[in-house]
Amino acid sequence: MVRQLRDRVQNDLGFEIEFVLLDSTQGLQQVVTRPESFDIYHQWHTSDLIWTARCIQGIDLNRLDAGTRIKAAALARTGAGRNMHTIFDRLFVQDDGRLGVTPTDTIAVMPALHGVDGFAWRPERAPALRRGERESWGWLLDPRWAGHVGLIADPVLGMIEAAMATEVQLGEPFGDIGNLTIEEVDTIADFLIHKKKIGHFKGFWNSQAEAIRLMQRGSVTIQSLFSPAVSRLRAQGMALTVASPTEGCRGWHSDIGISAAAEGAALDAAYDYLNWWSNGWAGACLSRQGYYFIFPELARAHLAPEEWDYWYDGQPAARALPGLSGEITIPEGHRREGGSYRERMSSARVWNTFMDEHTHIARRWGEFLSA
Amino acid sequence: MNTTEAYYQLVRQAVDRNIRSGALPAGTRLYVSALADRLGVSRSPVKRALDILENDGLIRRDGGMGWVVGDAPADEARPNLHLFDLDLPDSGSAVLIKPGWERILQTVADELTDCIPFGIWKISETELCNHFGVSRTVTREVLTRLHERGLIAKNRASHWIAGPLSAQMLDELHDLRRLMEPLALRRGAKQLERPHLLAMHDRVQVALDAGGQPAPDDLDAIEVDLHETCVAPQPNQRLAAALPALRLSIVINRQFTRHVARHQEGALLTEHRLVLDHLIAGDADGAAAALRFHLDADHARARERLKVLSIFGGPDGDTAPYLTRVV
């Protein structure tokens, strides 16, 4: 949790909150097996999984300031903007206890942030590109970049990116890239292992710090990158292009759940925390590192007009803009790749998720990393 | 039956027990081939068992005429052992013990299925022999049958490998199970006794009244009631042989209740109760339809739960010593 947010929320709510970072499989195991060990859980792509385990409790929309807004957003999404709010596909608790799309008064998690990730590359270190060539996930496995490619080591996100790249390189589309079959996973893994053995990859990263180091050393010139890392590298003066791949982006959402064990005063405090989040201040704060708040109009109130124009409206920065901790990350005149909030979110082709064949994916991915 | 005991030990115990009870009276002549035939086993474990019983002083050797029970003079006639009313462990069957592979097959299958939701496991044939005290011939037979069931396969290094349990495997088994299990239930429904059904219904109701979070053992019993006991009376032997392998997804509910703190089985229990309600009312078709509904719903849950299990490293409790996790 970012320090600015931590200080502010404790100050605003008037009670102390202990923040614990649980970003490993062990962390997820703890959440699933010991709901009494937390009150609130900020989850990334596990909402269906933790709901199946019932380690979080249903959230009463009537107790949320954003309750009406959430229901309205669920009903409103139609047509081309469909991809904008995938979280709404599995948000509402249905009569049979499972999650579904039909709005009810109970939700599994409160949506908070979302965004799309692509890869980033260094134009001045790029190989010769064809005239008019568009950015493609295929580049990650393209022989022209051999020896300079970095990959995320996490199997959940890594497999999605590898799938999009493999699809381009092998010229065969996969059925559902967000839910690969065993056969498709094997095709991808075999291809990745071959690529690794011929020295295609320069490195793998487990954290944003590692990703930043890979690029700083200069050896990695193309890799997937989260927006905070992009901001950090740019603040250090690196010329970096965030791709808007022709195949679409990898979407993500981050939501807040309440522990199944929370009751009484702890439960009241949990609802206070959720309502504090939904006022948009925190969302605005994290927008400065490239995330989107689920209800942009609420974040807007807490952003300078120039910030709103740059981060959400796709306009060139009217002045140099600060990142989270106040240092300048966006030079004047820079325009965010991929356009406005709506344009960028509509480019989400696939969402971070634990696929049905996760065990198989994790095994083949491990085989790839140790090949 | 304790599956880890060697054959000759089972023979020894059976003969020992029947001598002490008088079912094999003093003076009875025991020949290896006749006893092996009576017990439905081969000669070598019988020979070994009789040697031990002789050492124990329960029988004595009578030159080239086999053994004689106790100290009493030997009967003149060669007895027909099939006329003796012996107390044998597997009393419903004509034979003392099932073939070695049959005794341990289901145990091995259960121990394997407990592991495969968590990844890939290598099976050591040597450890399998040691663990159950059986020969290579027996373990090979077991492994061949598990291979036929689709539970294990050989990898490139020619090791026997099990798992991982995939969503695809669940889908394929479910396709077959939803056709076959309701059929079995409908065929056997008439033979189910009302008091028995009421007791099953009661177990489900108790679990529901207690909030729908039964203890693992209680849930196991409820699953056995419906998916094993209720389909057992149907007469088709091939169907009976096919059903156990199709029930693989039960392992998911079983491991889920053991790993996850707050599993909620309300939906499963309500569906079970609906099937039992139909059976109690004598409505076999309704029961079959309700069972199919339950199997479909449970399949959807199993797919979701498999994902939760995928974040854990292994089954709850000790894994069998002949299994090693590969990845």
Q: What is residue B96's predicted lDDT score, i.e. its pLDDT?
A: 56
Percent of chain A with pLDDT strictly greater than 70: 97
State how far the alpha carbon of A125 is from the alpha carbons of A120, A229, A245, B157, in Å.
12, 19, 18, 44
Say what angle helices B250-259 and B216-224 make with each other, to 10 degrees.
170
Q: Which amino acid is at B3?
A: T
Residue in B167, B263, B308 nearest the CB of A49: B308
Hey, are the CB atoms on B168 and A32 less than 8 Å from each other?
A: no
Which A positions 83-142 lie with beta carbon below 8 A of chain B?
A: 96-98
Regarding beta strands B160-162 and A106-107, do their DSSP bridges make them parallel or antiparallel, or are they unpaired? unpaired
Hey, are the CB atoms on B118 and A359 less than 8 Å from each other?
A: yes
Closest to A249 measured CA to CA, from A151, A329, A159, A352:
A352
Q: What is residue B92's predicted lDDT score, i.e. its pLDDT?
A: 47
Residue in A29, A360, A366 nearest the CB of B312: A29
Picking from A52, A185, A353, A367 by the largest number of B CB atoms within 10 A of its own CB, the best residue to mutate is A52
- Token pair recorded at residue B26: 């003093």
Mean pLDDT value of segment A196-203: 96
Is the per-residue pLDDT at A249 higher than 50?
Answer: yes
The complex's ipTM works out to: 0.85
Mean pLDDT estimate for chain A: 92
Hey, are the CB atoms on A356 and B259 less than 8 Å from each other?
A: no
Chain A residues whose CB is inside 8 A of the B310 CB are 354, 358-359, 362
At A119, the pLDDT band (50, 70, 90 cuts) reads very high
Q: Give the bridge partners for A328, in sequence order.
A: A322
Is the per-residue pLDDT at A336 higher than 60?
Answer: yes
Q: What is residue A85's predicted lDDT score, i.e. its pLDDT?
A: 57
pTM: 0.81
DSSP characters for A121-155? E-GGGPPPPPTTPPP-GGGGG-GGGTT-EEEE--H
Rounded Cα gap, residues B314 and A242, in angstroms: 40
Q: What is residue B314's predicted lDDT score, i.e. its pLDDT?
A: 78
Picking from A352, A356, A361, A367 by the largest number of B CB atoms within 10 A of its own CB, the best residue to mutate is A356
Hey, are the CB atoms on A98 and B300 less than 8 Å from each other?
A: yes
pLDDT digits (tens, 9 = 90+) for A229-244: 998 898 899 999 999 9
Is the per-residue pLDDT at A303 higher than 60?
Answer: yes
Hey, are the CB atoms on B166 and A29 less than 8 Å from each other?
A: no
At A81, the pLDDT band (50, 70, 90 cuts) reads very low
Residue in A25, A181, A366 nearest the CB of B168: A181
The verdict on A30 touching B (C-beta cutoff 8 Å) is no
The verdict on A56 touching B (C-beta cutoff 8 Å) is no
Hey, are the CB atoms on B310 and A354 less than 8 Å from each other?
A: yes
Which residues does B contribute to its contact with A (CB < 8 Å)? 117-120, 163-168, 259-264, 266-267, 297, 300-301, 303-308, 310-312, 327
The residue ranges of chain B whose pLDDT is under 70 are 1-6, 90-99, 327
CA distance A176 to chain B (A): 14
pLDDT digits (tens, 9 = 90+) for B128-161: 998 888 889 999 999 999 998 888 999 888 999 9
pLDDT-wise least confident of A56-70, A94-108, B35-49, B262-276: B35-49
CA atoms within 13 A on the CB side of A204: 19
Q: What is residue A235's predicted lDDT score, i.e. its pLDDT?
A: 87
The verdict on A29 touching B (C-beta cutoff 8 Å) is yes
Hey, are the CB atoms on A32 and B308 less than 8 Å from each other?
A: yes
At A1, the pLDDT band (50, 70, 90 cuts) reads low
CA distance B116 to chain A (A): 10
Q: Is the dihedral of CA B86, B87, B89, B93 positive or negative?
A: positive
